[in-house]
Amino acid sequence: MEINGVVIDETFAEAFDMQATRLVLTAADQQWAREAAAAMTGFGTSVIACGLEIAVERELACEETPDGRPGVAILAFAVSGKELEKQIPRRAGQCVLTCPTTSLFAGIDAEKRIPLGKTLRYFGDGYQLSKRINGRRYWRIPVMDGEFVCEEDTGRVAAIGGGNFLMIGQTLAGVSQACRAAVQAIAEVAGVITPFAGGATRSGSKVGSKYKTLVASTNEAYCPSLRGIVHSALDEEEHYVLEVVIDGLQPAAIAQAMRDGILAACRVGREQGLRRITAGNYGGKLGRHHFHLAEVLR
């Protein structure tokens, strides 16, 4: 298969079951909301060492938020519910509670819950107030600019992490351009995030390592500098590879994101140096969700 001169490999992306939550963060203006979200989602690129994969899903207009203020929706993914329960209150406490004017709300309804104000309330040292409104419980913690309003908890749902595709090209400029176009297109899809910096990663990894303590290490088959000394997946004209990793709430959202992302990347085309699109998998043995490139592009 070829789109705009770019070869689409006959392969699939292998994705895994994860646990996810959505938070709605609001503030007096969009700038504070963005800054709090930047802190909250910092160091949240990969579960390999960050504990969770977390990023802004989209910005929210005033009429979309519970308190009528501008905000952002944040999606977070972890390998287990327990890990989410550990990471989310920690980040909420250090990054949102601390940021001027912010409030924090649940962004998803589910039976299983991740604590927010339930644990953060103790910062109020006895001056915290609880308010039950429309069946939801909010904590009000006195802080130096007024009150930090924080919902008791948020929902936790089963989700999928590790949807991906790789862009392979002749020039760095072309691959960068394709990558940015892809990430921009994926940003429009609801229910997905691309957790890496700028939505892309250059360090595609394989499972395990020659060093026993490492769970993941560089994927030498896609490292152009190792062509000729390892069994490489790249030919002589393929000098640069970037990967977009996608976490999503449903398989359909990931498939949609992969489709929109690949099509946007392919619009950059062979003339700009993009030659091939492929996807990362582990032979289909580790993850139960397989996204075949040909199927998502159909």
Partner 1 sequence: MTLRLQLRSAPPPMMDLSAISFHSLMSMNVAGVCQLEICPQLGLIGDWFNVEGTTEDQRSVIEGSGDWLHGVGTGMHGGTLIVEGDVGDNLGRRMLGGTIVIHGNVASSAGSGMRNGSIHICGNAGDNLGGPWRGERTGMRGGMITVGGECGQRMGHRMRRGMIMVSGHVASQMAWDMIAGTIVVGGATEEFGFGMRRGTIVLAESGIVGKASCSLREPMAVGRFSGWLPAGGEILPLLFAEIGRGWGAHSNAFSEREPQNCGSLRDLGEGWRERQWLRSRGDRAVGGQGEVFGS
Interacting residues toward partner 1 by CB under 8 A: 66-69, 103, 127, 129-134, 138, 140, 146-149
The whole-angstrom separation of Cα 195 and Cα 51 is 12
Residue 264 C-beta: closest distance to partner 1, Å: 38
Residue 101 C-beta: closest distance to partner 1, Å: 8
Residue 271 C-beta: closest distance to partner 1, Å: 52
Contact (Cβ atoms closer than 8 angstroms) between residue 274 and residue 167: yes
Residue 12 C-beta: closest distance to partner 1, Å: 46
Which residue number, 1 or 129, has a Cβ lying nearer to partner 1? 129
Largest CA distance in the chain: 67
The whole-angstrom separation of Cα 185 and Cα 260 is 6
The C-alpha torsion from 37 through 39 and 44 to 50, rounded to 10°, is: -150
Tokens of 58: 């989209």
Phi, psi (5° rounding) for residue 63? -75, -5
The whole-angstrom separation of Cα 247 and Cα 255 is 11
Residue 28 C-beta: closest distance to partner 1, Å: 9
Where do the DSSP E strands lie in 249-288? 274-278
Residue 106 C-beta: closest distance to partner 1, Å: 13
Residue 125 C-beta: closest distance to partner 1, Å: 12
> Cα angle vertex 58, ends 8, 276, to 5°?
10
Which residue number, 126 or 283, has a Cβ lying nearer to partner 1? 126
The whole-angstrom separation of Cα 171 and Cα 176 is 9
The whole-angstrom separation of Cα 171 and Cα 241 is 10
Which residue number, 16 or 139, has a Cβ lying nearer to partner 1? 139
The whole-angstrom separation of Cα 170 and Cα 106 is 45
Which residue number, 19 or 26, has a Cβ lying nearer to partner 1? 26
Contact (Cβ atoms closer than 8 angstroms) between residue 57 and residue 74: yes
Which residue number, 16 or 148, has a Cβ lying nearer to partner 1? 148
Which residue number, 140 or 156, has a Cβ lying nearer to partner 1? 140
Residue 240 C-beta: closest distance to partner 1, Å: 48
Q: First and final CA of the chain: distance in angstroms?
A: 11
Which residue number, 124 or 163, has a Cβ lying nearer to partner 1? 124
Which residue number, 90 or 137, has a Cβ lying nearer to partner 1? 137
HSE-up (13 A, CA, CB side) for residue 18 = 30
